[in-house]
Amino acid sequence: MASDDELPKYKHLPYAEGKPPKTAWGLFGDDDNVGMFNLQTPERLVQAAKLVKTGAVFAMNWEQDKPNPPLFNRGALRHTVMRDIPVGHHGDDVLDNFFTQASSQWDALGHVGDLEHGYWGGHTNAELSADKTRLGIDHWARRGIAGRGVLLDVARHLQQQGRPIDCAERVDIRPDDLEATRRAQGVELQPGDVVLLRTGGVGWYELQAGRVRHALSELSQLKFPGLQCSEAMAEYLFDNHPAALASDNPALEAWPPPNFVDPDGFLHHFILGRFGIAIGEMFVLDALAEHCAADGTYEFLFTSAPLNIPGGTGSPPNALAIK
C-alpha cells in the first residue's frame, strides 16, 4: 500500500498505467474490495482512540422507517413483532420489504460505478451478478470500520456567514465552502478519515408536515442541498484521501444531479466508482454537531458495523462517534 507521501493527487490520475482516466484503480491492488478503507490502518486507529476524552457517544442511525414515505421509489418497511408464544413472555421481530438503503446507509462499492468503465477496479454488472464475492458490503462488515472521524458542520458555518442553507431547495455546497468550514473549525483532514458533512437535512425533515414528506417521496419533486457535482469538488475530495464521506442528506451530493448520463454529471461516479471512497447518507448528525460546537472539538473516534450481507450494495451504518 502506498505511504501517505505516495498517495496520488487527482491531477496525476489514473494511478496505474492502462487504467481509465481519473481513476485510482490499482492503488491497493487489482483484487481490492474495500477501497479507501484500506487507509484505516491499525496505527491510525490507535491514534483515533486517543481522541476519546469525555466518553460522550453519538449514534447516527435514523429510525429504520424514516424517511416516511420512503424516497427514490423504495418500498415502506413492514415491521411485525410476534408475541403469540403460549408460554412465558417473548418477542420476535419480522422485517418485510426491508430496503437496506431506505434510511441511514452506506453505499457499498458495488452500488454505483463509473458510467463508462464499471465499478471500482473495472468490474461490470455481469461480473458482480455472477460473483457475489466482489465489492459487497460484507467486505466492510467483516473488516469493521473504525478510525478518525471529522465533522464539517457546513450548515452552521454558512448560517454564521449569512448564507443559511434552505433544505427545501437544491443548493450546491462548493469546495471553498468545505475548506472555509474546515478552517473556521480549526480542524485538519488526514488520510483515512471518515468525513461527516452536516447540511441540516435530517433535522429539517423531522419538522416537516405530512404533506411535505409525501411531496418529497415523488422523485420528480425531490430536491435538497448537497455537494456540488464538479471536477473541482472531485479533486478537493480525492486530494484529502478520506476513507468515507457521509452526510445528513439522502445522496451526499445536491439533488437532482446535473446529468445522470454524463460520466462527470453524477458525483457518485467519481467518489464510489473511480476513487473507492465510501458514501454515507442520511446520517443523524445534529446532536454531534451541538456537542462539537460547544467544546470546539470536531474530531473523534468513529466506528461502524454494517450488516454482513454477501454481495450487498448497502447497509444501515450502525455508526457511532465517540468523544
Query: What is the domain-level CATH number for residue 194?
Result: 3.50.30.50
| Res. 215 pLDDT band, cuts 50 70 90 | very high
pLDDT at 2 over 80: no
pLDDT of residue 1: 64
Q: Residue 87: inside a domain, yes or no? A: no
Cα dist. 187→151, 153, 239 in Å?
9, 11, 16
Mean pLDDT of the region 187-214: 98
Q: Residue 294: inside a domain, yes or no? A: yes
Q: Domain of residue 270: give its range.
A: 8-73+99-322
Q: What percent of the chain has pLDDT over 70?
A: 99
pLDDT of residue 84: 87
Give tens-digit pLDDT for 127-177.
999 998 999 999 999 999 999 999 999 999 999 999 999 999 999 999 999
pLDDT of residue 10: 98
Amino acid (one-letter) located at 300? F
Q: Look over the chain and give the mean of its residue pLDDT values, rounded to a whole number.
A: 96
57 Cβ contact list (under 8 Å, min separation 6) = 320, 321, 322, 323
User: Pick from 93, 101, 97, 100: which is nearest to 77 by CA?
Assistant: 97
Distance CA 297, CA 302 (A): 14
Residue with cell 450494495: 313
Q: Residue 83: inside a domain, yes or no? A: no
Distance CA 107, CA 111 (A): 6
Q: Which residues of 252-277 are buried (b: 16+ CB within 10 A; e: fewer)?
A: bbbbbbeeeeebeebbbbbbbbbbbb
Distance CA 288, CA 302 (A): 12
Q: Residue 42: inside a domain, yes or no? A: yes
pLDDT of residue 207: 98
pLDDT at 217 over 70: yes
Q: Residue 82: inside a domain, yes or no? A: no
Q: 197 exposed, middle or buried (CB, 10 Å; 0-12, 13-18, 19+)?
A: buried
Distance of CA 134 to the CA centre of its chain: 20
| Res. 262 pLDDT band, cuts 50 70 90 | confident
Q: What percent of the chain has pLDDT over 90?
A: 93
| Cα angle, residue 192 at apex, residues 190 and 196 outer, rounded to 5° | 80
pLDDT of residue 6: 83
Instruction: Answer for the pair 198, 152: CB distance below 8 angstroms, yes or no.
Output: yes
pLDDT at 4 over 80: no
Distance CA 306, CA 299 (A): 22
The count of domains in the chain is 1
Q: 231 exposed, middle or buried (CB, 10 Å; 0-12, 13-18, 19+)?
A: exposed
For the record, the C-alpha cell of 245 comes out as 464521506
Q: Residue 91: inside a domain, yes or no? A: no
Q: Residue 88: inside a domain, yes or no? A: no
Q: Residue 202: inside a domain, yes or no? A: yes
Checking phi first, is residue 134 left (phi over 0); if not, alpha (psi -120 to 50) or beta?
beta
For the record, the C-alpha cell of 266 comes out as 453524477
Mean pLDDT of the region 23-51: 98
pLDDT of residue 166: 98
Mean pLDDT of the region 288-294: 99
